[in-house]
Amino acid sequence: MTTGAVPRLPSTPFARTVWMVLRKDLTVEMRSGEIAYTTLFFAVSCVLIFAFALVKEGRAPDGGAAGILWIAILFASTLALGRTFERERQAETLRALLLAPVPRPAIYVGKLLGIIALLAAAEVVLLPLVDFLFTARLFAHPAWLIGIVVTCTIGLAAVGTLFAAMLVRTRSRDMLLPVLLYPVVVPVIIAGVQGTSALLQPAFDVAVVRFWLLLLVTFDVVFVVLALWTFEAVMSD
Amino acid sequence: MLRLTSRGRSSDRPIRWTNAARAACVAVVLLCGATAPGRLAAQGQAPQPQDEFVPVGNNPAPEQIPAAPLLIGAYIVVLGGLFFYVLSLSRRLGAVDEDVQRLEGELKRRGRG
Amino acid sequence: MPKWFNPAAILCGLMFVVSPVLIARAPDESAMGMVYKIYYYHMPSAWMFLLAPLVCGFSSALFLMRGRAEDDRRAWAAAELTVLFGALTLLTGPLWARRAWGTWWVWDARLTSSLVGWMIGWAYLILRRYGGPGSDKLAAGVALFGAVNVPFIYISVNYWRTIHPPTTVVPRLPVSMGLPLWFCVFAFLLLFVLLMTMRLRLEHARTRLDALYVALDE
């Protein structure tokens, strides 16, 4: 009895696929360091440029630290996303991944975790830098800070990974990625900035921070669910 | 022609409705959930919004004058915008119809020739 | 064009001609005076601005599931109308706000999320224009995110600190104000359908043109 033209191959479990994709990305990155170093340097440059531009009479602008932090992360993530998938395109590894008998959503989750790891590495440097340059007292409430930073990064990365993967075979992809990405992630950025700003207030209000954190969690779940479905639908020929 | 497949599935087969419906339901439920934390938002320093419009009886004429340019401007914007969009659509449609007719004529001629 | 198009277009035109008369007869508002009458075109534009991305997103989802070109054409048409009605909403709103709030713009949840929704519409059109082959599917993916933004725009005004009127205004309108409003809403809805039909006709014609070019090359 025939089962169709395409032979059934043993499929790889979801988690194993995710781990294989993530490990591949981390291994390549740890050997070359290309994207990590360039992303980090670019993010630091962004923060410094904002510092040079906005500092008046030796003082940083009030309340500017949160916005500057997240703008720098957003710009740096755009570069990282573009470069990560450009590397896949040049080596034709994305095509190989899509041909493999693995669940497509697992490929997306693997790439997503890789991007999150990259951004997390940049944020480990950026957060103390912003704290230092703008005397922002970011680490006064570290648990809440980590919550806000992690959820906002996941939201950025979820949409960014999807769009960057979608655009890998498109012309003008370098220009189109920010054009598509920025409007969609604006709500995430706003929530991240507002949440981070709330942490920096002298009169710390837990309810306000919790609200923005819950909103970020909601965005993350909605975007990741949507991206999982869209990735499978869009990445087939 | 090489087709990208996953788990031996033909790329012609449509994405399952069940997955889409599941994703959509989760998204809707979570979006509704997003309104709950919204209620925690503090009453802001912004002026309170008007939650209903109350008509007046008699309107003293002098109060209407400063608003007139904004009102007229708004209606001009809407009607003008719609007009120019319809014009643009008609032009694009006309140009494409013209090309279609030209090519159909060309095909007919080649068919005869 | 379908047979109903011309009669519908004439009816729509007549409704737009009559609407200023109805609006002029509506009473002024006690706090805002005459300027609130921008509302009679601003709100229907806003509702069409919310409807268009939903149509775009739904059609895009169908396109990704079924792969039919008709769904893609509908999505593209709806994206253009998103940009059109979004522009009308974002232009008329500030004209009203200047008088009612004393400022052209505030960065509150409703206005910000509306601007974001408008930009997503632009992003869709830019991708279709410059993305090259395969951009139909990519744009469909983007449209899904645009559609998800719509409920957020609608409910934002009820749950965030904002001076934009909340959604309780419409149900509480007296008849003298409600009648011209619903008249304008139906006029805009009819216009939306007509514009979608014209735009779809354009896409059909373009598809026919592409097929003719291919036939000529053979």
Structure ipTM: 0.86
Q: Where do the structural domains in chain C lie, given as residue ranges? A: 34-157+174-217
Residue B98 lies in a domain: yes
Shortest CA distance from B35: residue in chain C: C159
Residue B59 lies in a domain: no
**Which is more confident, A79 or B51?**
A79
Q: What is the pLDDT of residue B56?
A: 65
The pTM of this model reads 0.82
Contact A168, A88 (CB under 8 A): yes
Residue B8 lies in a domain: no
Contact C182, C130 (CB under 8 A): no
Count Cβ atoms below 10 Å from residue A73 Cβ, excluding itself.
27
pLDDT at A88 over 60: yes
CB pair distance less than 8 Å for A225 and B27: yes
SS3 A56: strand
How many residues would you count in chain B?
Answer: 113
CB pair distance less than 8 Å for A222 and B30: yes
Residue B81 lies in a domain: yes
For residue B19, count CB atoms less than 10 angstroms from its CB and return exposed for 0-12, middle for 13-18, buried for 19 or more. middle
Count Cβ atoms below 10 Å from residue A4 Cβ, excluding itself.
9
Task: Give chains near B: 3+ CB pairs under 8 A.
Answer: A, C
Closest by Cβ to A187, choosing from C113, C127, C135 = C113
Please tell me what DSSP assigns to residue A100. S
CB pair distance less than 8 Å for A208 and B42: yes
Which of C161, C185, C192, C195 to mutate against chain B (most B CBs within 10 Å)? C161
Query: Residue A25: which of A87, A95, A73 has the closest Cα?
Result: A87
Looking at the complex, report in whole angstroms how far the Cα of residue C90 sits from the nearest Cα belonging to chain A: 16
Chain C residues lying within 8 Å of A95, measured CB to CB: none
Chain A residues lying within 8 Å of B11, measured CB to CB: 236-237
Q: What is the pLDDT of residue B17?
A: 47
SS3 A201: coil
SS3 A59: strand
Query: Residue A220: which of C120, C148, C160 has the closest Cα?
Result: C148
Q: What is the pLDDT of residue A86?
A: 83
Q: A38-47, A92-101, A220-229, B57-66 — which one is most confidently predicted on average?
A: A220-229
Q: What is the pLDDT of residue B63?
A: 43
Query: Residue A230: which of A180, A191, A192 has the closest Cα?
Result: A180
Q: Give the span between the Cα atoms of C121 and A183, in whole angstroms.
A: 9
CB pair distance less than 8 Å for A234 and C140: yes
Chain B residues lying within 8 Å of C166, measured CB to CB: 49, 51
Q: What is the pLDDT of residue B8?
A: 35
- Locate A37 and state its tokens: 């170093």
Chain B residues lying within 8 Å of C181, measured CB to CB: none
- Look up the domain containing B88 and give its range: 67-113
Chain A residues lying within 8 Å of B5, measured CB to CB: 6, 99, 236
Contact A35, A121 (CB under 8 A): no
CA A219 to chain centre: 13
Residues sharing a CB contact under 8 Å with residue A190, sequence separation 6 or more, in sequence order: C112
Q: Give the span between the Cα atoms of C93 and C38, in whole angstroms.
A: 8
CB pair distance less than 8 Å for B74 and C91: yes
A24 in contact with chain B, both atoms CB, cutoff 8 A: no
Residues sharing a CB contact under 8 Å with residue B49, sequence separation 6 or more, in sequence order: C157, C162, C163, C164, C165, C166
Helix then strand then coil, % of chain C, to nearest 5: 80, 0, 15
- Locate A225 and state its tokens: 């669910």
Q: Based on the structure, what is the number of domains in chain B?
A: 1
Categorize the per-residue pLDDT at A83 as very low, low, confident or very high, splitting at 50, 70 and 90.
Answer: confident
In order, the DSSP letters of chain B are -----BTTB-TTSPPPHHHHHHHHHHHHHHHHHHHHHHTTSPP-SSPPPP-S--B-SS--HHHHGGGHHHHHHHHHHHHHHHHHHHHHHHHHHHHHHHHHHHHHHHHHHHHH-
Fill in the amino acid letter for B35. T
- Locate C56 and state its tokens: 């775009």
Q: Give the span between the Cα atoms of C205 and C212, in whole angstroms.
A: 10
Residue B1 lies in a domain: no
Contact C140, A232 (CB under 8 A): no
DSSP β-bridge partners for residue B9: B6
- Locate A190 and state its tokens: 């706003």
Q: What is the pLDDT of residue A178?
A: 92
Which of C84, C88, C157 to mutate against chain B (most B CBs within 10 Å)? C88
Contact C35, B63 (CB under 8 A): no
SS3 A104: helix
Q: What is the pLDDT of residue B6?
A: 37
Residues sharing a CB contact under 8 Å with residue B12, sequence separation 6 or more, in sequence order: C67
Q: Give the span between the Cα atoms of A131 and A59, in whole angstroms.
A: 14
Q: What is the pLDDT of residue B50?
A: 66
- Locate A231 and state its tokens: 């990735």
Residues of chain B under the 50 pLDDT cut: 1-15, 17, 34-46, 59-65, 113
User: Where does chain C show beta strands of DSSP type E?
Assistant: none
Q: What is the pLDDT of residue B25?
A: 57
In order, the DSSP letters of C21-51 are HHHHHSPPBTTTBGGGGGHHHHHHHHHHHHH
Residues sharing a CB contact under 8 Å with residue A180, sequence separation 6 or more, in sequence order: A163, A167, C123, C127, C142
Residue A73 sits at φ, ψ, to 5 deg, of: -65, -40
Q: What is the pLDDT of residue B65?
A: 46
CB pair distance less than 8 Å for C131 and A162: no
Q: What is the pLDDT of residue B54?
A: 67
In order along its 218 residues, chain C shows pLDDT tens digits of 888 899 999 999 999 999 988 888 887 777 767 777 888 999 999 999 999 999 999 999 999 999 899 999 999 999 999 999 999 999 999 888 888 887 888 888 888 889 999 999 999 999 998 888 888 999 999 999 999 988 888 877 666 667 777 666 666 777 777 888 999 999 999 999 999 999 999 999 999 999 999 988 87
Q: Give the span between the Cα atoms of C35 and C143, in whole angstroms.
A: 35
Chain A residues lying within 8 Å of B42, measured CB to CB: 205, 207-208
- Condensed to tens digits (0 to 9), the pLDDT of residues A51-69 reads 888 877 767 677 788 999 9
Residue B92 lies in a domain: yes
- Locate C19 and state its tokens: 């609407």
Residue B30 sits at φ, ψ, to 5 deg, of: -70, -35
Q: What is the pLDDT of residue B40?
A: 42
Q: What is the pLDDT of residue C208?
A: 92
Q: Give the span between the Cα atoms of A208 and C53, in whole angstroms.
A: 31
Fill in the amino acid letter for A138. L
Count Cβ atoms below 10 Å from residue C56 Cβ, excluding itself.
30
Q: What is the pLDDT of residue B14?
A: 44
Residue B100 lies in a domain: yes
